[in-house]
Chains A and B, each alone.
Chain A
Amino acid sequence: MLLNIKNLHVSINNKEIIKGLNLGINYGEVHAIMGPNGTGKSTLAAAISGKPGYEVTKGEIVYKGINILGMSPEEISWEGIFLGFQYPVEIPGVSITNFLRAALNEHREHQGLKPLTGSEFLSKLNEKKKLVEIQSKLTNRSVNEGFSGGEKKKNEIFQMAMLDPTLSILDETDSGLDIDALRIVANGVNTLRSEVNAFLLITHYQRLLDYIIPDFVHVLYDGKIVKSGGKELALFLEKKGYNWIKEELID
């Protein structure tokens, strides 16, 4: 198993947000997590990536057979976990190109590889740009600065393509995308999808799952996964909303 989360409890500022969550992901699988606003989806993603301030009070996150709790965010990144942020932050003055060059080379250093030369890097950059149909101009601009909502999300996918992660967690990467952009993003994911990696999609809409067919769909509610199923669960949720789950839970 690639990722195995067992009885995870996460608190922020002493407030428990994730309350005993279990989730297993195998190589080659695509999982989707849905659930009402504020139930802890982004918190889960942040906890997996080792975000400071997210205190794991109980449970473990086993990734590639090792418990990654306590590892620094960059170590987790080097191990191949990528987080596509729900709200990507702006970093003024730092061009995407420089940013990715730094990231990629630190990854390579960790893998014992030589840093890419300028031209190697450039050709990789151009190749991946095509994949997500990202405009050339964009990569010369500062990271996320002044990007439109959709551009920010595309930029996340572009970075994912560049860093070639094993486990990609995409937190609402579909929100704010126009129809074409959604197709492009989905295309990107589908192209990268293989037997040696896996995806965890956090989304509110069935629409994305039309393009990226998930193997499993989970509902996160009040810090726990309360329902899991196949891709048909998403269709059902789209029609019925979450109230029936809440009612079921009360019973």
Chain B
Amino acid sequence: MKAGKDKIIDEVTQNDYKYGFVTDIETETAKKGLTEETIRFISKKKNEPEFMLEYRLKAYKKWLSMKMPEWANLKIPEIEYQDIIFYAAPKKREDLDSLDEVDPELLNTFNKLGISLDEQKKLAGVAVDAVMDSVSVKTTFSDTLAKHGIIFCSFSEAVKNHPELIKKYMSSVVPSGDNYFAALNSAVFSDGSFCYIPKGVRCPIELSTYFRINAANTGQFERTLIIAEEGSYVSYMEGCTAPQRDENQLHAAIVEIVAHKDAEVKYSTVQNWYPGNKEGKGGIFNFVTKRGLCKGENSKISWTQVETGSAITWKYPSCILKGDNSNCEFYSVAVTNNFQQADTGSKMIHLGRNTKSTIISKGISAGKSNNSYRGLVKIAKKAENSRNFSQCDSLLMGDRCGANTFPYIEARNKSSIIEHEATTSKISEDQLFYCNQRGISTESAIGLIVNGYAKEVLKKLPMEFAVEAQKLLQVTLEGSVG
């Protein structure tokens, strides 16, 4: 039996969002609102080279000409962009000795979140880039990784130290004008992680980024870029939390992955932004564009996500299967409770021959929430002998929530096979009674059954994340069955 599974049962579940605290630290912010000025301010703050500023301004112009997308099955309140602070950075304390030293208050914050930035007390085998509001606080193990030729640093550092890679790859998968939120991010993005795995290198440890929103009224706009050169391998994890506040906060991120020939990238997310309270007040609006490019032959990208947080989630980790024989997987568990809304799924665009994609999506809706799967599988004419298999299951808990499935399937050749299946179910009375009869109380029984339902996805997560994710599922659904 796996130790992690024990742990989940061992843990006494806890009731509320436990990451809702606020760190009391001085922050330096941009003026409220979004103008060309704001963008120049951000770029200047970050000491960016000219090309970066140009890139941002171009994206901003594009964004101004675009409209908020309305096709998702979401009720999104008007977002007042002029009320948002687009840049917030914890102020450097002047009494700190070295540039590398991190404010103890920040270390504390991340400790409280279960992320140790102290390499001595590190999480075994995981390198972390910790991002608070608009800046990266610290990246651990950069030096160790450098010995393998791996670059793992904050996006800002990469802009400074590896401009040639940034120029080559940034927006090569998600064009700056790809969609409304991608354009917004491209204009105002602050920080994020950059990761480069050279040819033939298997990254020896897990890489991870932890995103934390702390300051009030700010939005977070991070950007992640992962490049896996020929024959390389990396497993990357992303986690996120935010304080409990009554107003909604905006998060619009971009993740780009490029996998060259024979490379493999595993990307795992446990998304636990503040979901708002039981009455639906507050919470993060989470609009994320994640896309991978299987550029070379035999390349492989796999997305695994556990979505439990955010008031609104709008997110479709996707993949362009360009290289012949490339492969992409999408495994997702999305849980919504109370008044949460999620419209999430994946897009698989098959361009190369013999490409293969798999989509496994498990939606769980409870309370008055609304949970939609939206996916696109497109097989182009030239993508001969390609395969897709999609399985989208929904679990409904209670009769005041919604579970929707919106797959789009487009086929353009005669040698490919696409299969899509979806089912909707609820936890049956018989299952509950069976558990009850064995002495398992209803709340735990639901936790067990839901984790069982999501198992196919959870088992894809790296061990460090799996335990956290299982607990989260249970906590998120607490109180959903009366």
Contacts and interface: CB of A to CB of B under 8 A. Distances in A.
Q: How large is the interface on B (under 10, 10 to 19, 20 to 34, 35 or more residues)?
A: 20 to 34
B439 A91 contact: no
Given A98-B5, A103-B439, A91 B10 contact: no
A115 interface: yes
A98 B3 contact: no
Given A98-B5, A98-B448, A101-B6, A91 B440 contact: no
A107 interface: yes
Contacts, number: 95
A110 B5 CA distance: 22
B168 interface: no
Contacts of A73: 433, 436-437
B439 A78 contact: yes
B434 A88 contact: yes
Contacts of A104: 439
B29 interface: no
B449 interface: yes
A93 B451 contact: yes
Contact of A115 (B3, B10, B438): B10
A153 to B, nearest CB: 14
A163 interface: yes
B385 interface: no
Contacts of A77: 436-439
Interface of A: 49, 51-53, 72-74, 76-78, 82-83, 85, 88-89, 91-95, 97-107, 110, 115, 118, 121-122, 142-143, 159, 163
Interface of B: 1, 3, 5-6, 9-10, 428-431, 433-442, 444-445, 448-449, 451-456
Interface of B is mostly: helix
A92 B439 contact: no
A159 B440 CA distance: 13
Nearest to A140: B1
Given A77-B437, A91-B434, A107-B439, 7 more contacts: A73-B433, A77-B438, A99-B435, A102-B444, A103-B438, A105-B9, A163-B439
B6 A94 contact: no
Contacts of A88: 434
B451 A85 contact: no
Given A89-B430, A163-B438, A94 B10 contact: no
A100 B440 CA distance: 9
A101 B439 contact: no
Given A89-B434, A93-B454, A101 B9 contact: yes
Given A73-B433, A74-B442, A92 B6 contact: no
A73 B1 CA distance: 28
Contacts of B453: 92-93
